[in-house]
Amino acid sequence: MVDLTRRFDVLVIGGGNAALCAAISARRAGASVLALEGAPKFYRGGNTRHTRNMRCAHDAATEILTGPYTEEEFWKDLLLVTGGQTDEELARFMIHESKDILNWIVEQGVRWQPSLGGTLSLGRTNSFFLGGGRAMLNALYRTAEELGVDVLYNAEVIDLKIEDGMFLSAQLKQPVGGKTEVRASTLVAAAGGFEANIEWLKEYWGEAADNFLIRGTPYNRGAILKMLLAKGVQEIGDPTQCHAVAIDARAPKFDGGIITRHDSVVFGIVVNKHAERFYDEGEDIWPKRYAIWGRLVAAQPDQIAYIIFDSTVVTSFMPTLFPPIAGATIAELAGKLELDAPALEKTITDFNAAVQPGTFDHTILDDCATQGITPAKTHWARKIETPPYLAYPVRPGITFTYLGTRVNKQSRMLMKDGKPSANMFAAGEIMAGNVLGKGYAAGIGMTIGSVFGRVAGREAAKNARN
């Protein structure tokens, strides 16, 4: 049993990578630590349970990384994906720290493996967790528990007592035991974003948000973020934005994870519910294209679209969780998708007529393009003409949100007046917007979580002692 009457040095709210790194580093620095995870034990860890790798800078190849990835290159990649929406000082600090994280995280029990099959493009830059994100989490929890960090599950924080930027206590609500006031000298908020909070998403997306599928657990509701912003913490990141990819429309509402994604867009065409194409399916190579299709589908009527291809390309992409819907003719396929058959036939006929000869190569921006249709398919355009005709229905799958709390290099929250908080720190997705104002680069969420989690824990422990 955890003694909740005592005053802890560090209270960590959250249960994912950032929270655990903070808890472990605070505990290693000698602090007493309580970690409150709002989810039940199985669903602990927020989005971390669905992750699989981390992007860290390194000057030389390692056992699992195929070559160097310098700080400068990392910085350039970050600039590229964010379009400059990043705090350079914080970002460069994080990138520098990421070098050491590569070893530090191993000391916390996490094991690396080379990049997974089908992700060779990440083999140089990203270190993969052996067994995936949940294996990584399990290792961090084991380490935290061995070090003596107290962890509570189903531990929902319903209020924070904050005065003049100083954290005093948290109101904890548990299924058994009811409400308790938890006191601590410092707070580390590592409770993620609000991607599972449909009502909140609706503020920016309207009724369309009802058709969004959430890739992580239903517990990422952003309650802590909301409280902090309401109590004077400075916000960062575009509140209207979220990271969305196209996922199978048959996926569950929550927690479908990575396996519901589709990356077959380049091998066919994408139509909306009126059986019309709406965007260049051949615009860019993976992973850049991956992240745009979620929002493209979100902008379509009823937030639904269909990737349509033919039987010649079935083995060109990774096997999918849900099998493609098949039809011997375009009309039959249209019937199964409940699309207007003549409209789909026309779209495909027009597309096929526009396809120009070329040499297909899906690993580069090849010369297979259309001519005379709008939108064009600028690469990898091939006729869809070999039955059976196949389709995946897709919807926007929301991964994470960008709104967060402003922090400095100590991971210390900044208040609306720009002053650093006396004893409040933030790490992980809840402050990711400082570094990642928009876009995404594979594995960077975990870098933000581990680097700032470690810093936040260390600083909070130091703060508690003073």
What's the min distance (Å) between Cβ of 202 and other proteins? 25
What is d(CA 57, CA 96) in angstroms, rounded to the nearest whole number?
Answer: 7
H or E element at residue 163: strand 156-163
Tell the smallest beta-carbon distance from residue 98 to other proteins (Å). 22
C-beta closer to other proteins: residue 30 or 118: 118
CB of 54 to other proteins, least distance (A): 14
Gap between the terminal Cα atoms of the chain: 28
Helix (H, G, I), strand (E, B) or coil at 210: helix
Q: Which is nearer to other proteins, 46 or 437 (CB)?
A: 46
Query: Comparing C-alpha atoms, which of 252, 214, 44 is closest to residue 140?
Result: 44
Pick between residue 110 and residue 424 the one whose CB is nearest to other proteins: 110
Nearer to other proteins, 67 or 118 (CB): 118
What is the chain's Cα-based Rg?
Answer: 23
- Say if CB 188 and CB 460 are below 8 A apart: yes
Q: Is 414 left (phi over 0), alpha (psi -120 to 50) or beta?
A: beta
DSSP designation for 5: S
Sheet holding 53-55, edge to edge: 53-55, 126-129, 112-113
Among all chains, which residue has been given the structure tokens 């680097």?
451
SS3 content of the chain, % helix, strand, coil (to 5): 35, 25, 40
- State the minimum distance, in angstroms, from the CB of residue 319 to other proteins: 5
**Residue 114 or 287 with smaller CB distance to other proteins:** 114
Six token digits for residue 398: 């929301």
Residue ranges in contact with other proteins by CB under 8 A: 42, 49-50, 52, 111, 113-114, 116-118, 128-135, 138, 142, 252, 255, 257-259, 315, 318-321
Name the residue nearer to other proteins (CB basis): 108 or 434. 108
- Please, what is the minimum distance in Å from the beta carbon of residue 324 to other proteins? 12
Going 372 to 287 to 243 to 302, the CA torsion angle's sign is: positive
* DSSP character string of 343-371: HHHHHHHHHHHHBPP----TTS--S--B-
Residue 118, Ramachandran bin (φ over 0: left; ψ between -120 and 50: alpha; else beta): left
Cα distance between residue 453 and residue 35, in whole Å: 13
Using the minimum distance from each CB to other proteins, give the nearer residue, 87 or 195: 195
Cβ at position 259, least distance to other proteins in Å: 4
In the three-class reduction of DSSP (H, G, I as helix; E, B as strand; rest coil), residue 207 is classed as helix
Q: Which is nearer to other proteins, 321 or 365 (CB)?
A: 321
- State which residue, 4 or 64, has the beta carbon closest to other proteins: 64
Output the smallest distance, CB 126 to other proteins, in A: 14
Give the nearer residue to other proteins in terms of CB position, either 27 or 50.
Answer: 50
Strand-pair partners of 305: 394
Q: Are 277 and 347 in contact (CB under 8 A)?
A: yes
CB of 16 to other proteins, least distance (A): 12
Answer whether 394's CB lies under 8 Å from 198's CB. Answer: no
Q: Residue 441 Cβ, how far from other proteins at the closest point, in Å?
A: 20
Q: Could you tell me the smallest distance in angstroms from the CB atom of residue 291 to other proteins?
A: 19
